[in-house]
Amino acid sequence: MNQASHATRPFLTAIGGFAATLLTPTHCWATDQPALPWDYTLDVMQNYIAGPLAQAVIVVSSIVAMLAFTLAGD
């Protein structure tokens, strides 16, 4: 049992070192990069599409659905 623990110790050390270097938070932070020129434009478009445009589409589609239901006849 003592031999198995000595044999796996370098393996566990290598995996621990690899995980420590791979999972450090500095690799995940995107704040170090400067803003791209189209970031502001995409943010404005996203806010517009999720806001007033979505509400207008909902209102227009509900009006069209009501008109189709009332004018359908049968």
Rounded to whole angstroms, the Cα distance separating 3 from 55 reads: 69
d(CA 1, CA 18): 26
- The predicted structure's pLDDT at residue 30: 55
Q: Note the pLDDT tens digit of each residue in 12-66.
A: 787 877 777 766 665 455 555 667 788 888 888 888 888 888 999 999 999 999 9
Report the predicted TM-score, pTM, of the whole model to 2 decimal places.
0.43
Query: So what's the pLDDT on residue 68?
Result: 92
- Cα 51 off chain centre by: 19
pLDDT over threshold 70, residue 74: no
